[in-house]
């Protein structure tokens, strides 16, 4: 004869049903404040980790409300985020002149490009323990090219399992010109919650109720830096080379190779990398969905907009086309 359920327990089927209901409740619009509280808890923990890492690596803890505002070169009201897509090769000399007059951030493999931005942005893989040779080489290129321009290196904090030798290396590069920051994903997996959850987080960041060294994230450096630009008050955030399609990376295109050299063996990449970012298999949301709603929040909360420089970007016409 089967045993009866103990007092206060439910059959397995009922328990699974209750768990499903709880998961569904967590995804409702009404639960947005609870998700914000979870984000705040994680962000405070990230900030403590970033502070400890910064001391070990002789780095600065950034305040993204002042992002780029202390740079020597004029920054104006426009932030240019320079991605690795092939459409970056379409920019005219006039466009590069305008970019040089604003604040610019070159992402990931950007040191392969001759243009020297205000910031180089690097990140470590989530499972990083020891230093990757490609990243080491890219950082060395960035440091060499920016000696006269005095660019700053911006590093997403390395994982907690990072080796002592990696941290020693990090302490040695870009002396007095590097910052380490943290990140935290949103607590929802429903795309309809992206904008309302971001609004709560941004309002708290603007009011300094959250650490200004931790950015909302979706597993993408471009989304984090859009958030940084909004917090710092840039009214125009321009994405160039953020293609999100199957076009080759900029250093794989023939014209770039002829002009600047062949880096394909030094920095190999799988084709279709931009398309992979449209998937949510390795991230809570599609990057396209996240950026689209970031633009919505930019307009409603900051009187700003996010735009792209190429009609060939997978983000157009979701985002406006920027005209140089």
Output the pLDDT for position 149: 80
Question: Would residue 244 count as lying in a domain?
Answer: yes
Q: Containing H/E element for 198?
A: helix 194-206
Question: Would residue 100 count as lying in a domain?
Answer: yes
Question: Would residue 7 count as lying in a domain?
Answer: no
Query: Which domain range does residue 115 map to?
Result: 14-321
What are the tens digits of pLDDT across the range 8-43? 444 455 555 656 655 666 788 789 999 999 999 999
- pLDDT higher than threshold 60 for residue 170: yes
Q: What is the CATH number of the domain that holds 270?
A: 3.90.1480
Q: Which are the contacts of 322, defined by CB distance < 8 A and separation ≥ 6?
A: 236, 238, 307, 308, 309
Structural domains counted in the chain: 1
Q: Containing H/E element for 84?
A: none
DSSP string, 124-188: --TT--S--HHHHHHHHHHHHHTTTTT-EEEEEPPPTT--HHHHHHHHHSSTTSEEEEEEEE-S-
**Cα gap 177→62, rounded to integer Å:** 11
Q: Containing H/E element for 78?
A: strand 78-82
- pLDDT higher than threshold 50 for residue 7: no
Average pLDDT, the chain: 90
Share of residues in the chain with pLDDT > 70 (%): 87
Question: Would residue 154 count as lying in a domain?
Answer: yes
Question: Would residue 186 count as lying in a domain?
Answer: yes
**Cα gap 192→220, rounded to integer Å:** 19
Output the pLDDT for position 270: 82
Question: Would residue 181 count as lying in a domain?
Answer: yes
For 130-147, what is the mean pLDDT?
Answer: 96
| CA quadruple 296, 276, 79, 47: dihedral sign | positive
Question: Would residue 1 count as lying in a domain?
Answer: no
């Amino acid at each position: 004869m089967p045993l009866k359920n103990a007092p206060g327990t439910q059959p397995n089927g009922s328990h699974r049903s209750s768990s499903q209901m709880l998961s569904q409740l967590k995804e409702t619009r009404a639960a947005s404040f609870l998700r914000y509280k979870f984000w705040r808890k994680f962000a405070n923990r990230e900030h403590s980790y970033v502070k400890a890492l910064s001391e070990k690596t002789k780095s600065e803890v950034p305040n993204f409300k002042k992002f780029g505002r202390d740079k020597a070169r004029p920054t104006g009201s426009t932030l240019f985020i320079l991605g690795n897509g092939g459409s970056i090769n379409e920019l005219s000399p006039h466009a590069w002149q305008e970019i040089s007059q604003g604040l610019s951030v070159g992402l990931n493999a950007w040191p392969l490009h001759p243009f020297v931005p205000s910031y180089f942005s690097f990140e470590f893989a989530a499972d990083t323990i020891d230093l990757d040779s490609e990243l080491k080489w890219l950082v060395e290129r960035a440091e060499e090219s920016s000696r006269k321009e005095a660019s700053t290196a911006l590093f997403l904090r390395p994982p907690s399992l990072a080796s002592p030798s990696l941290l020693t290396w990090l302490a040695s590069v870009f002396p007095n010109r590097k910052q380490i920051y943290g990140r935290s994903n949103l607590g929802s997996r429903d795309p309809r919650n992206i904008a309302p959850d971001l609004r709560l987080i941004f309002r708290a960041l603007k009011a300094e109720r959250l650490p200004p060294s931790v950015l909302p994230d979706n597993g993408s450096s471009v989304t984090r830096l859009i958030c940084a630009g909004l917090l710092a008050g840039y009214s125009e955030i321009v994405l160039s080379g953020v293609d999100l399609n199957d076009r080759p990376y900029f250093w794989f295109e023939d014209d770039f190779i002829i002009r600047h050299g062949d880096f394909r063996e030094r920095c190999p990449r799988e084709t279709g990398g931009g398309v992979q970012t449209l998937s949510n298999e390795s991230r809570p949301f599609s990057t396209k969905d996240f950026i689209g709603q970031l633009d919505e929040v930019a307009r409603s909360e900051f009187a700003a907009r996010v735009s792209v420089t190429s009609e060939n970007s997978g983000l157009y016409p979701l985002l406006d086309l920027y005209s140089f």
